[in-house]
Amino acid sequence: MTEPTTAWTMTSHSDVLELWRKQVDAKLETCLRSQPESRLRDAMAYSLLAPGKRVRPLLAMAACDALGGEAVHALPAACALEMIHAYSLIHDDLPAMDDDALRRGRPTCHIQYDEATAILAGDALQTLAFETLAEAPVRPLDVVRLLRILARASGASGMAVGQAWDMEATDQAVDLDTLQRIHRHKTGALIQASLEMGGIIAGADETSMARLGQLGKHLGLAFQIQDDILDETADTATLGKAAGQDRAHNKSTYVRLLGLSGAEHKAQDELTGAAHCLKQLAADDRPLACLVDQLARRAR
Amino acid sequence: MTEPTTAWTMTSHSDVLELWRKQVDAKLETCLRSQPESRLRDAMAYSLLAPGKRVRPLLAMAACDALGGEAVHALPAACALEMIHAYSLIHDDLPAMDDDALRRGRPTCHIQYDEATAILAGDALQTLAFETLAEAPVRPLDVVRLLRILARASGASGMAVGQAWDMEATDQAVDLDTLQRIHRHKTGALIQASLEMGGIIAGADETSMARLGQLGKHLGLAFQIQDDILDETADTATLGKAAGQDRAHNKSTYVRLLGLSGAEHKAQDELTGAAHCLKQLAADDRPLACLVDQLARRAR
């Protein structure tokens, strides 16, 4: 028997990620089934169980694994993160917000159901996120730490205020600093929280927690820049949602501020920073590195 | 010096309740100030700090006090309850839901700001509720219990599903059992959670917890019936919101199903049940009894 090559290991890591993705989907379904049957629950399931990359859950599980924990212990936190993400998509798509009719290749929640149901489905998914977090198989003290991280990353000091600033910035000339501040909150905070929550579940020390936070900052920014690039360059069928929406809504994006090639360079810089963090975490050869690599390849 | 008479005690209890109400308002303001300045935070403050009875916070503090705890220890949980309540009002008032322009005598959040901001303000208030709960000065294990109770009472197995069922029941003939099931979820669950959360903070035993739960069931139902009665009998100025909305929206109410006097009798039955629970809890002469009395008098 020879040692597995790096290529082999990466294939194996991507199998592991695929397994985790299935575990996340199964757990999301179980969480929903614990709620009483209702049209509301159907609408929650419609959006939450729609095929997706499960980026945030996988980041939490992979970070937990990379820091020496059992990935499966991160499942409740992973699902909580996906529920927060799903609720934010439902509400972002509403007519009063981005007014999108298509998401992940299917009608958005308020199109498939109705606006009132979509508002409530988003609300109840946020609640279910916190309920699910309470199941995390860690010391109660660590559940409380997870609770704090998730809440701060998603509310008026995180995702929600990022979304609010983003709306205010529409039709306005916005500089790079402001754009970064918006996205650090709107998308970055939850990405960073995903990694940190995985770290807490693994019982990571403070140094590792800080490195996970740094990794999250790089990844969050890289993904947002990629989204901006894809919105400009990909078509609706590839995206699974309407393309060209940023331009249509006159939104400030990295592509508008830096040009396409400038944005691509900036994304690459962030990914290089992420690779450095992975090395510091001694996670180069863990599923976490494979996941980061998969996500980085979206932009190419 | 003679012993204080019951009347004197009740006055003193209502002073205590007034003090607690001020503590709640002060703490709500502190919680908001911990969030970064934004139009979003302004909208959250607009709705959360609007003058209100603070029924749920006071129930939590009074239950904690009645079960031998320090009421002030219940402040974070009390504020979390008010934030959940405030978020649900903002979203219920949206055009896609009840489409109300007036609340607590002032323009509703989406009228004062805009629809998108109102959606986000509700979202972020729910998040802030869970963040605030994490501050409860109890053992982490009890924070997790509080988290579970609050989430179950407000999400797809509580308030949110009650609201969804209520919408489905509009324009439909609904029997008394269905109406009670709707209201047990829509308003009852959070009232019951308020008392139970106060009990947990006081370190109440299982028997007392069950009695608090029972008290909550009676009060929740009594308040809802009173709301139905007031919607029918009071004017807009008294209510601080548009009167006659149930009839205008063709909603099933206790008044429609039982008639005005039947509904009044039913409310009285529930209040009698509540009084029995208070006696069992040996809380007849605590601020909790005074609070129940104040709330009961709304309907007369």
Please determine, for residue A246, whether its predicted confidence score (pLDDT) is greater than 80: no
Q: Quick one: average pLDDT of B98-102?
A: 93
- The size of the A-B interface in CB pairs under 8 A is 160
pLDDT of residue B238: 67
Q: At what angle do helices A254-280 and A176-183 cross, to 10 degrees?
A: 60
pLDDT in tens, A118-127: 999 999 999 9
The partner residues of A102 in beta bridges, in order of sequence, read A107
pLDDT of residue A298: 72
pTM beyond 0.90, yes or no: yes
Tokens of B263: 């509904």
| Partner-chain contact B156 A128, CB within 8 Å | yes
Measured between beta carbons, the chain B residues lying within 8 angstroms of A141 are 140
Residue B131: which of A34, A38, A148 has the nearest Cβ?
Answer: A148
Q: Which has the closest alpha carbon to B8: B290, B275, B293, B274? A: B290
pLDDT of residue B300: 42
Most confident of A53-67, B172-186, B282-296: A53-67
Q: Quick one: average pLDDT of A266-291?
A: 95
Residue A161: which of B38, B131, B155 has the nearest Cβ?
Answer: B38
What is the number of other CB atoms lying within 10 angstroms of the CB of residue B92? 21
What is the number of other CB atoms lying within 10 angstroms of the CB of residue A55? 20
| Partner-chain contact B168 A122, CB within 8 Å | no
pLDDT in tens, A37-79: 999 999 999 999 999 999 999 999 999 999 999 999 999 999 9
pLDDT in tens, A98-111: 999 998 789 999 99
Tokens of A39: 């049209």
Q: Quick one: average pLDDT of A23-47?
A: 97
Q: What percent of chain A has pLDDT over 70?
A: 91
pLDDT in tens, B278-287: 999 999 899 9
* Ordered domains of chain A (ranges, CATH): 6-292 (1.10.600.10)
| Partner-chain contact A131 B122, CB within 8 Å | no
Report the residue of chain A nearest B117, measured CA to CA: A164
Q: Which has the closest alpha carbon to A195: A79, A58, A76? A: A58
First to last CA, chain A: 36
pLDDT in tens, B33-75: 999 999 999 999 999 999 999 999 999 999 999 999 999 999 9
**Best to test chain A binding among B44, B92, B119, B170 (most A CBs inside 10 Å):** B119
Return d(Cα B212, Cα B208) in angstroms, integer.
6
| Partner-chain contact B147 A148, CB within 8 Å | no
Residue A91: which of B39, B123, B160 has the nearest Cβ?
Answer: B123
Report the residue of chain B nearest A185, measured CA to CA: B36
Measured between beta carbons, the chain B residues lying within 8 angstroms of A87 are 123
CA distance A137 to chain B (A): 12
pLDDT of residue B21: 98
Q: Are strands A102-103 and B102-103 parallel, antiparallel or unpaired?
A: unpaired
Report the residue of chain B nearest A120, measured CA to CA: B160
Measured between beta carbons, the chain B residues lying within 8 angstroms of A148 are 131, 134
Q: Which has the closest alpha carbon to A97: A147, A166, A11, A9? A: A166
State ipTM.
Answer: 0.93
Measured between beta carbons, the chain B residues lying within 8 angstroms of A35 are 155-157, 161
| Partner-chain contact B127 A38, CB within 8 Å | no
A240 or B17, greater pLDDT? B17
**Best to test chain B binding among A34, A126, A163, A171 (most B CBs inside 10 Å):** A126
| Partner-chain contact A39 B164, CB within 8 Å | yes
Q: Quick one: average pLDDT of B186-203?
A: 97
Q: Quick one: average pLDDT of A167-178?
A: 86
Tokens of A243: 């393309």
pLDDT in tens, A126-159: 999 999 999 999 999 999 999 999 999 999 999 9
Q: What percent of chain A has pLDDT over 90?
A: 80
pLDDT of residue A53: 93
CA distance B63 to chain A (A): 23
Q: Across all residues in chain A, what is the average pLDDT? A: 92
Q: How far is CA B154 from the centre of its chain?
A: 11
The partner residues of B102 in beta bridges, in order of sequence, read B107
